[in-house]
Structure 1
Amino acid sequence: MKVEQILEQGSGAQNEDYLIMDHNIFGVFDGATSLTDACFEEGKSGGCMASSIAGQVFLRNHHPLVRLGAEANDSIRARMERSQIDLSRRCGLWSTSAAVVRLGDGEIEWFQTGDSQVVFIDRDGGYKVAARREDHDYPTLSMISERGRSHPEVQRLVEKIRQGMNRDYGVLNGEREAERFFRTGTEPACNIKTVLLFTDGLDVPCPAPKKYKDFSCLVSMAAELGLEGLRDHVRGQEAADPDIERYPRFKKHDDIAAIAIHF
């Protein structure tokens, strides 16, 4: 078995992504950029806090992944309460997506919530997204494509979409409703060549947003170039579009957490 990994800050003030690798458990977590300027322990944003708390809970590796997801969610809530966060102000909740796998005897257990992804690539080059889901950022990215990143309506839509946490899409943010959006399962390991785990900072830039992301280009580039080569391609495309005019996105470069497990 060979493992590649990337954990890299984007153009934001902090790296809100988090990555875990320990024995048979691997995971990536994408903390959501806070809509407030508040900082917490050691100056960390709410997104940093959520992703690191969740990652540390999964590292305990002592329960089924779905139960660890619930424990991670509860831990985020407990830490927010200790920090006296107003839990009624939902846009200020610490939140993170998660994609985690655990290798077992003949099978791979997986867990997913939010927009971090688990993708299984088989020995014939085909791939399967563990939890295919509609991109909750599609409306906002479509507006950015039409009106530009700095349009005032974009920020209002960002705030509206954030209110859809655990109503329209899932995140770990301490709310009880989060568990309704947990996706989990097992995959037979016999025909799997590679498992990809990644946050959306690794998404290949696309000029036209899609309601359901197509990962075929990402999968083929990861196979051909490796994770670092794929990262270089993504960063190069973004760097060539510094004003966010060709590829709609929220910032010049997003944080990246990614793992490729090759069997």
Structure 2
Amino acid sequence: MEKGGVIMKLESISMKGSGKSNEDAYVIQQAKHVYAVIDGITSLIPYENAAGQTGGAIAAELVKKQLEAMPEDAALHDYLETINEELQGRMRQSGIELEKKEALWGAACAVVRVGDAHIEYAQLGDCMIFAVYEDDTVRPLTHPQVSHLEQAALVKWEEGINEGLCTRTELHERCMDILLHNRYQANGPEGYGVLNGDVACRDFTEFGRINRVGMKALVLATDGLFMPRALGGTQPKWEETVLPILHKGLQRYTDELISLENTDPECIRYIRFKKSDDKTGMILYLH
């Protein structure tokens, strides 16, 4: 129970996907009423530190620690800019060539500060924040900034399946040119925002404040928790991800999603780029 009754109950989860390590992270700072989910993005040029952490994992951990240390009077979007500068400094210390986008470590994130009357938020990338009201209305506060770029790759992936490709490796190779192109759109025109040390990041941060009237919960999620699109089907509505998370709880929802992914290891029944992405989520029950 949080002092002042701002948050009545909290659920959180963070599970490794099919990769080597969990490059997601999350923040729970109840004293400051700050909560966040973070999705590390590994550089296309392979990098690991002495501890075996990828660039994406290092970036996610840095964002987490910086948010945990955020002054209570800091504006969320301004502080994300500060974190971006810290990340640039860390990469420079590690000898990363900052002019090469394929070498940059990165992180998407979604952060909220919960007040008695208002919710403040800031976001980059495709981490999402949803307000859920008493009547189960789901209100996305954010937009998955990468979705317009990923769509072309998903279409090409589905075409490959229809042409007879039946392994994830073949399908991934087919779409690699688009995936590489998309990475170069980070913090660029017609691209998407991401914390990757590039000063242009500030122009892509989305932020705002809404009131809490009629709101029963906030749901924060990295993209590994999104319900995937079935082959030949339409993109699931946000309600198909958010309401099951809320009604089943994060653990059961995540277990069921992983079971679904395990029945489709080659990503041909459900269109996605990995068998199982890292999954991090949070439910903040407001009363």
Q: Which TM class, normalised by the smaller chain length?
A: over 0.9
Letter in 1 for 2:242: V
Residue 257 (1) aligns with residue 264 (2): no
SS in 1 for 2:277: coil
Moved more, 173-182 or 219-228: 219-228
Letter in 2 for 1:141: L
| 1:37 shift after superposition | 2.2
| Aligned counterpart for 1:157 among listed residues 174, 178, 183 | 178
Partner of 1:65: 76
Moved more, 113-122 or 36-45: 36-45
Following the alignment from structure 1 to structure 2, what is the Cα–Cα distance between the partners of residues 77 and 157?
26
Following the alignment from structure 1 to structure 2, what is the Cα–Cα distance between the partners of residues 208 and 120?
29
Change (3 A) 1:210 1:104: farther
Residue 116 (1) aligns with residue 127 (2): yes
Residue 13 (1) aligns with residue 24 (2): no
Residue 48 (1) aligns with residue 61 (2): no
Partner of 1:144: 157
Partner of 2:88: 77
Q: Deviations over 1:3-27 (max 9, x none)?
A: 0000110110111101110111110
The runs of at least 4 aligned residues of structure 1 exceeding 6 Å deviation read: 209-213
Q: In the alignment, is the contact (CA less than 8 A) between 1:121 and 1:193 conserved in 2?
A: yes
Q: Deviations over 1:163-221 (max 9, x none)?
A: 01011111000001111110111111232111000100101121259998621101221
**Residues 86-235 of structure 1: pairs in structure 2 closer than 5 A:** 86-133=97-144, 135=147, 136-147=149-160, 149=168, 150-151=170-171, 152-167=173-188, 168-207=191-230, 214-235=237-258
Moved more, 21-30 or 145-154: 145-154
SS in 2 for 1:142: helix
Q: In the alignment, is the contact (CA less than 8 A) between 1:100 and 1:110 conserved in 2?
A: yes
| 1:132 shift after superposition | 2.7
| 1:223 shift after superposition | 2.4
Q: How many residues align?
A: 263
Change (3 A) 1:17 1:246: same
Q: Deviations over 1:52-110 (max 9, x none)?
A: 11111111231111111101111110000000101111011001100010111311111
Partner of 2:44: 35
Q: Deviations over 1:19-61 (max 9, x none)?
A: 1101111101101133222212521111111111111111123
Following the alignment from structure 1 to structure 2, what is the Cα–Cα distance between the partners of residues 213 and 45?
31
Partner of 2:4: none
SS in 2 for 1:42: coil
Q: In the alignment, is the contact (CA less than 8 A) between 1:97 and 1:172 conserved in 2?
A: yes
Following the alignment from structure 1 to structure 2, what is the Cα–Cα distance between the partners of residues 49 and 133?
22
Letter in 2 for 1:102: R
Percentage identity across paired residues of the two chains:
29
Moved more, 22-31 or 33-42: 33-42
| Normalised TM-score (structure 1) | 0.95
SS in 2 for 1:109: strand
| 1:124 shift after superposition | 1.2
Following the alignment from structure 1 to structure 2, what is the Cα–Cα distance between the partners of residues 74 and 213?
36
Change (3 A) 1:64 1:212: farther
Change (3 A) 1:188 1:208: farther
Letter in 2 for 1:26: Y
Following the alignment from structure 2 to structure 1, what is the Cα–Cα distance between the partners of residues 182 and 154?
11
| 1:143 shift after superposition | 1.7
Moved more, 37-46 or 180-189: 37-46
- Decide which structure has the larger Cα Rg and report it: 2
Letter in 2 for 1:110: Y
